[in-house]
């Protein structure tokens, strides 16, 4: 494991004019030395300078799903057809964002699994107050990753029809024209 290149295996790694070792850490600090030679003088720096920035990117979305149920007296969540969960990679109990295209409401909850092939999109508990059956919604999940991971990452985009059946998938959103 590494923290922005700081190795956990005890081997020194060169970064420009310095060498860094992940095994020589004290609390939230890391040891750095100017040479790889044994016995070279160590300097201790805060780990805040070693931790990479994390970006929050769209991991996946279900585009324009139709709300089939709205159950106020059920424990809060959104039940999603298992086929859609599998196609998007959304895990049960994962936080999801709901954007109601019909009324403009935006909120978050967690995903629950509904029967595969049922087409169910059911908003439950307090979330049921934000939608009505027949509303068109977008269900999105996000993931945190480093800038390097973000450069290689592609989201899973799932498009559905009015019965919440998958029509097609994609890994990118077309560029918006003026």
Alpha-carbon span 165 to 114, nearest angstrom: 14
Which residues on neighbouring strands pair with residue 2, listed in sequence order? 7
* pLDDT level of residue 2 (50, 70, 90 thresholds): very low
Q: Check if the beta carbon of residue 92 is closer than 8 Å to that of residue 79.
A: no
* pLDDT level of residue 174 (50, 70, 90 thresholds): confident
The per-residue pLDDT for range 68-77, each reduced to its tens digit, is: 999 999 987 9
143 exposure class (CB count in 10 Å sphere: 0-12, 13-18, 19+): middle
Structure tokens at 10: 């005890």
- Pick from 60, 64, 50: nearest CA to 90: 60
Residues contacting 122, CB < 8 A, separation 6+ = 67, 68, 69, 70, 71, 78, 79, 114
* pLDDT value of position 24: 43
The per-residue pLDDT for range 20-68, each reduced to its tens digit, is: 554 444 444 555 555 555 555 555 555 554 556 799 999 999 999 999 9
Residues annotated as catalytic (active site), given as ranges: 77, 110
The per-residue pLDDT for range 88-101, each reduced to its tens digit, is: 999 999 999 999 99
- Pick from 67, 59, 123: nearest CA to 91: 59
* pLDDT value of position 6: 44
* pLDDT value of position 66: 98
* pLDDT value of position 173: 87
The per-residue pLDDT for range 121-166, each reduced to its tens digit, is: 999 999 999 999 999 999 999 999 999 999 999 999 999 999 999 9
* pLDDT value of position 93: 97
């Amino acid at each position: 494991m590494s923290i922005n290149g700081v190795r956990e295996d005890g081997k020194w790694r060169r970064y420009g004019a310095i060498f860094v070792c992940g095994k020589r850490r004290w609390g939230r600090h890391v040891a750095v030395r100017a040479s790889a030679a044994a016995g070279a003088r160590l300097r201790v720096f805060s780990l805040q300078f070693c931790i990479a920035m994390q970006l929050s990117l769209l991991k996946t979305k279900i585009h324009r799903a139709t709300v089939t149920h709205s159950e106020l007296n059920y424990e809060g969540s959104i039940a999603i057809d298992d086929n859609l969960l599998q196609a998007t990679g959304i895990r049960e109990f994962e936080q999801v964002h709901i954007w109601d295209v019909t009324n403009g409401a935006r909120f978050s909850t967690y995903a629950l699994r509904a029967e595969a092939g049922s087409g169910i999109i059911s908003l439950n508990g307090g979330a049921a107050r934000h939608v009505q059956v027949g509303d068109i919604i977008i269900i999105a999940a996000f993931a945190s990753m480093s800038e390097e991971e973000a450069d290689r990452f592609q989201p899973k985009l799932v498009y559905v029809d009015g019965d919440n059946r998958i029509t097609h998938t994609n890994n990118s959103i077309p560029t918006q024209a003026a």
